[in-house]
Structure 1
């Protein structure tokens, strides 16, 4: 699985046989598990998705972002030179 130049290293020899143990899972947009992680074996995981929750979840975390909406936000830069006045 690894190139010889890696596996022949003394540092590699002391590592456990299983370097990455998997942990595939299905997580919803708020970070809750829909299917718990599976470690150390091959398994197909399934989850029921509630497509009606998409709009609800976008209120909490909108991946596309409202900052990319020119109809809502505008950036205006005042390029005129301003001098600080004393006192």
Structure 2
């Protein structure tokens, strides 16, 4: 969701958190891209789950899942500003990932590439974010229900 990310980047975020079900090399590459694009630390907390983690009361659990099968391999990762994995990925590992984060590194990386600052083109592009609370659904038609 590039426009949503842009909205976050425009607020000079230093840490971007990406909770996900995704995993694998493509996801890790995406996290590197976001760190480089946003000049921010990226923390991707992933879901590492095996068949044995599914409750025994789950209908047809034993027919659907093998006990030692990895349903999702996880791949939690920490990526530094401008890219580069500094911790993880925790591939097929259930655990807690730790990394030291230097917020100045994020701010320094935006000096080279600031997608909402000196690389921004307000003369061509305009993005507006409405932060007001809104209903989750609006019906637009002329139909009345009696």
TM-score by length of 1: 0.50
Rounded Cα–Cα distance in structure 2 between residues aligned with 1:45 and 1:53:
20
1:31 is aligned to 2:68: no
Greater RCO (Cα-Cα under 8 Å, separation 6 or more): 2
Rounded Cα–Cα distance in structure 1 between residues aligned with 2:115 and 2:100:
21
Q: Greater CA radius of gyration, 1 or 2?
A: 1
Consecutive unaligned residues of structure 1, counting only runs of 5 or more, are: 76-87
Structure-2 residue corresponding to 1:48: 100
Residue 57 of structure 1 deviates from its aligned partner by 0.5
Residue 52 of structure 1 deviates from its aligned partner by 1.7
SS at match of 2:111: helix
Residue 63 of structure 1 deviates from its aligned partner by 4.3
**Equivalent residues of 1:26, 1:47 under 8 A apart:** yes
Query: What are the superposed Cα offsets for residues 17-72 of structure 1, whole Å, 9 maximum, x if unpaired?
Result: 3242011010012211121211112111111111222221002332435325x4xx
Structure (1 or 2) with the greater helix fraction: 2
SS at match of 1:29: coil
Residues matched between the structures, number = 62
SS at match of 1:21: strand
